[in-house]
Amino acid sequence: MFTQCPDCKKKYSVTAKKLRTSQGMLYCKKCNSRFDALFLLKDGISSTLWNLGFCCSLITFAFQVYFFEGYNLTQNPTLRPWLEKSCQQLKCQLPHYKNLTEFTILHGSFEPDGNNNYVFKTAFTNQSAFEQSPPSIKLTLTDFKGHTFAERIFHPKNYLKPDFSLIQPEMSIEMSLDIATPSAKVGGYVFELI
């Protein structure tokens, strides 16, 4: 246990036996005053150590949240503006925002081009309040019975110019891809942003 002199704030280590013997009164060797040791009696761990332990725990918790949920938090549209402002102050960079539910598909078509090939066209708009990374597009071809016989994923580098990086809010992208004629007859197609 610890106590301290109320006048000069010098700390003293005390035991229950010493307090019983002196009836709770101690003499300060630094300022020569006599004081009631029970009035400022504290247990063995100082508040400084408790504060240090709390800060270490808080830092550890923040690191765990960052490590396990950091990316998901940066993709949250409610938290993102606050995180962007914080990153401007800290001079850090958030990962690019990507939320496929905030893209609106305007149209899509898969038609023969007259040269025994097909042309796949689509257009979509970024309805988000943030600039987004372009999505990949998964194109699935089906036969007349609805069975899948071909599938391919087109990444942004397949349909965008090399210097294109982010889709701004309310910006629309139109794309057109030439597709080689598949071995089976095409009965239908499905595409999705991924």
Contact 135, 103 (CB under 8 A): yes
| pLDDT of the residue at 81 | 93
| pLDDT of the residue at 169 | 96
Contact 178, 113 (CB under 8 A): yes
| pLDDT of the residue at 69 | 93
Find where tokens 């923040």 sit: 62
Residue-wise pLDDT for 136-160, tens only, equals: 999 999 999 999 999 999 999 999 9
| Structure-block tokens of residue 47 | 């508040």
Is the whole-model pTM more than 0.75? no
Closest Cα partner for 110 from 134, 145, 142, 136?
A: 142
The topology (CATH level 3) of 100-193 is Immunoglobulin-like (2.60.40)
| pLDDT of the residue at 74 | 92
Contact 193, 132 (CB under 8 A): no
